[in-house]
Amino acid sequence: MSDKSRQVYCYFWLFGLINNVLYVVILSAAVDIVGPTLPKSLVLLADIFPSLTIKLCSPFFIDKIKYSYRIWSLVMMSCLGMFLVSFKNLFVCLLGISFASMSSGFGEVTFLQLTHYYKQISLNGWSSGTGGAGILGGASYMILTSIFKVPVKLTLLVYSVLPFAFLFYFKLDSNDISSEYQSLEQIDEAEDEQLEPFAVALTQTNASQSLYLTRHHVFRTFKRLWRLVFPYMLPLTTVYLFEYLINQAVSPTLLFPIDGGKESKSMPFFFHKYRDMYVTYGTLYQLGVFISRSFGHLIRMRNLYILAFLQGINLCITILQSWFYVVHSPWSVMVLIFYEGFLGGASYVNTFLNILEKENSEETEFAMGAVSIADSFGVFLAALVGLGLEPKLCEHQVSDNRPWCRME
């Protein structure tokens, strides 16, 4: 690996880490931010909806915004978001979560599109960095608040400084981006020149011409999006739907007795409360994601639907375990959760590697940003379904004389 390639990898690893670490920290701090009474899927919903909205809208306008402007926007939205989240007022906290979520979605679209110019080495760095964010974000928040007893408000303010690392973008060599921008602008101008006679023929007014060109842009964008649905977006959405249903709705009910008795003797030594199981599952999931996002490019999967099918099997197994209590030891469940995270990370990195390999150069930048809609949409659907699934599973367990989901 050359020095330039190593530098690109490190920068994109840092961008992936910073872009996702705030999202992870907000989920880790959910109880501290809004209290322990809200369902976990509801907190996830508040953290994903603004990001999804940005991603859904971005294909229609983001190509008009220069990368330098995007970077400054990310810094401002992220810093402001984490600053507001540190307040005790619930409305202000939710407003801060919205800003941080919008920044996360806008950042993912931006940096995935940038990988079009810096090729696979940048995508490998970005994917590994986003995987590392899950581990470092949750672990650092736990260490600061639980071990060093740093106040939650001060801890969240510390994280508000991290987005300034996005400014390393300006140390990248932007010559390739500038030259390709010029060629793309020439293509757009040529298309507009071809459309202008038709617009004038329809009407002589500037307002009607503008409306016609706007409608053409919208329909053309929808057409470009539709072409990406079945090869990339549908399988990625499905994988994220299944894995976040497991994480947010099912795993909180994958519990085992720790209050003495024969079964409790096989429990790991670090299971002191029932919440410890959920925290452990989350850590194992993030570890699986990190490993596969870091090394998934070494094992290529061209057929993305295989990963969706395997993740669907994982969801079925965990629901059956929650409902019928088939396995009486957490060790096999812990292995399954790690495997679930590994599949999720592999699906993410292989989806975007397939785009870099299969799409032509004129469409790659658009496709990289547009397909990022899929993972957020899957998480959003999982949050909605999870609002009903988790209480249903917990209610059944209580009636089955397994009341652990109601305990701390």
Q: What beta strand segments (E) does 277-317 contain?
A: none
CA 63, 57, 309, 285 dihedral sign is: positive
Full-model pTM: 0.84
CA-CA distance, 104 to 48, in Å (whole number)? 9
**How many CB atoms sit inside 10 A of residue 29's CB?**
23
Buried b / exposed e over 44-82, threshold 16 CB at 10 Å, is: bbbbbbbbbbbbeebbeebbeeebeebbebbbebbbbbb
Q: How far apart are the first and last CA of the chain?
A: 49
Q: Determine contact, residues 348/340, Cβ cutoff 8 Å.
A: no
Q: Convert the pLDDT of each residue in 50-91 to its tens digit.
A: 999 999 999 999 989 999 999 999 999 999 999 998 887 878
Q: What beta strand segments (E) does 90-190 contain?
A: none
Q: Determine contact, residues 343/314, Cβ cutoff 8 Å.
A: yes
Mean pLDDT of the 347-370 span = 94
Q: Convert the pLDDT of each residue in 3-59 to its tens digit.
A: 889 999 999 999 999 999 988 888 777 657 665 556 656 667 778 899 999 999 999
Buried b / exposed e over 171-205, threshold 16 CB at 10 Å, is: ebeeeebeeebeeeeeeeeeeeeeeeeebeeeeee
Which of 295, 8, 389, 355 minimizes the C-alpha distance to 176?
8
CA-CA distance, 29 to 35, in Å (whole number)? 9
**3-class secondary-structure state, position 52:** helix
Q: Convert the pLDDT of each residue in 276-329 to its tens digit.
A: 787 788 888 989 999 999 998 788 899 999 999 999 999 999 999 999 999 998
CA-CA distance, 386 to 384, in Å (whole number)? 5
CA-CA distance, 109 to 111, in Å (whole number)? 6
Q: Determine contact, residues 156/85, Cβ cutoff 8 Å.
A: yes
64 φ, ψ to 5°? -90, -5
Q: Determine contact, residues 345/17, Cβ cutoff 8 Å.
A: no
